Amino acid sequence: MCLLLWCVSHSMVLDMTTDATLAGHLQELRRGTVVVASLTVLRTAGYGYSLLETLSKAGFDVEANTLYPLLRRLETQGLLTSLWNTDDARPRKFYRTTEQGEAVATALRTEWARLDRAIGDLGPHLPAPTTPGSDK
C-alpha cells in the first residue's frame, strides 16, 4: 500500500514537472511564431487590437501585455513603422511592416519551412503530431 501511494504520488510530481517543462517550451516556440505572424499580418496596416483579434482567430494565443511590447520592440528594430490616427474620438496607433521587416519575415518563414521539412525528414518512426488536448 505504501509503495502504491509513493508510485502514485511520484507519478503526479513527474506529470506536474513534465507539464511545466512542456509549457515552458511551448511558450518559447510561440514567441517566435508571434513575431513572424505579426510581421506577416501587418503587411497591411493595422492597429494593435485588430492584430490581437486576427492572431487570436488564427489560433495564436497572445495577450495584449505581450503583444504591445513586441510591437514597440519590432518598431525600434526598424521592422515596423507606426503612425497615429487622431481622426477618430480615440486615437489609434497603426503599424505597418517595413521593407526590412518584410525581408526578415520572409527569411523567418523560409527557415520555419526548412525546419519543418527537417523534422519531417527525421523519419517515419516519429509519432504523428497531435494537437494539445486532442486526446480528451
Tell me the C-alpha distance between 49 and 72, whole Å.
Answer: 14
pLDDT tens for each residue of 47-68: 999 999 999 999 998 999 999 9
If one counts every other C-beta atom within 10 angstroms of the C-beta of residue 112, the result is: 13
Report which secondary-structure segment, H or E, holds 95. strand 92-97
Q: Give pTM, 2 decimals.
A: 0.74
pLDDT tens for each residue of 94-134: 999 999 999 999 999 999 999 999 988 887 666 666 666 65
Residue type, 98: T
So what's the pLDDT on residue 19? 83
Task: Spell out the domains of the chain, with CATH numbers in brackets.
Answer: 32-115 (1.10.10.10)
Averaged over 79-104, what is the pLDDT? 94
If one counts every other C-beta atom within 10 angstroms of the C-beta of residue 80, the result is: 22
Q: How far is CA 133 from the centre of its chain?
A: 18
